[in-house]
Structure 1
Amino acid sequence: AGLKSPEVLKEVGVGGGDRGSGQEVGSSSYSQDAGLNHAERISRKADGIDKNLDTLVRFFENQTAKLASTPTIWPTTGWLTSAFGSRMDPFTGKKAFHYGIDIASSFGNSIVATADGFVSHVKREKIGGNTVIISHGGGFTTVYCHLSKFAVRAGQKIKRWDVIGYVGQTGKALGPHVHYEVRRNGKAVNPYQYVLEE
């Protein structure tokens, strides 16, 4: 009735790239083999995705930790009265390098940690008065001077925004303020370049 033989149909149904075996697609052995190959491909892809996700998670965790240990906020509210760099020393009247910034504020205002870390130094010093130093990791250290009183102790773990002390006029100071320093790998750097919050 005009129907072609199975051999002719096999030839007509060939096209594109080499498909290999020419096995019947409806056979159970083909279905099992194809299913296994497909499952293996999916499994390999899933493994690759898992590895990529693990890498991304580690990357973002590392970036989050770096940001947390970078001093990015102001230590108190107030007015910037002396910038980082060369200036006239208010006590000697001579040119001198200022290794931090001075922020004038109301006596007793809170001073906060500008990044996560641990308190490495809580001491009264001749020039800096009541001084707190925080080690943050990543080479960062911050210094807070002239506090009226401390709110932390040496060795204490600290988070950004934790109160570490209060604005005062201890040590060599003309008025209530905080002298604030950022050190990177032991060298004083301009704190202003790290502040993200205006």
Structure 2
Amino acid sequence: MKNFAYAARPLMEDFFSTLVFVVLNALHVDVRIAVACAAAIGVAQVAWRLVRRQPVAALQWMSLGLVLVFGAASYFTHDPRFVMVKPSIIYVVVGGAMLQKGWMLRYMPPIAQGHGDRLMTAFGYVWAGLMFVSAIANAVVAVAYTAHWTAFIAIFPLASKVVLFLIQYVVVRMAVVRSVRAQMAAA
């Protein structure tokens, strides 16, 4: 469980401000309040890392940017179709960022580093693919099945990512344990 928490923590940090905006928006909190809360949290996270002289990950910068840009767009348009299609735009942007080779390596615990790097890199591309599939699925549901969009957005994005995360965790853990044991046996 400790390794699971180690792997999940940075991902949650990177997307925390975005998650705050999504949750507040889903709870029908006034868009101005949702944008302000998410932006304040995102800015505070980045400022905290900068003050502590820690690097700010690209996904964390992107998450903050998405909250600011799409939050402002939601505020000014008040168009429900934009709100419905907005996740597709976010998924495409996130998927594009995830095409960076090796972006997932920072999520590996120190003991696993060097033992599952190729597998983690491959899963980085799988995650990018999931983001692109999510973008297409969201756009189709938002445009063609508008009445079902709320149920879709409440279930599919989270469920698909949790399932992929769990598959990745089990597969990478098994491969790393095998590699560490093989290295110990050879030594």
Q: TM-score normalised by the shorter chain: which range applies? A: under 0.3
* TM-score, scaled to structure 1: 0.25
Identify, as 1 or 2, the structure richer in strand. Answer: 1
Identify, as 1 or 2, the structure richer in helix. Answer: 2
* TM-score, scaled to structure 2: 0.26
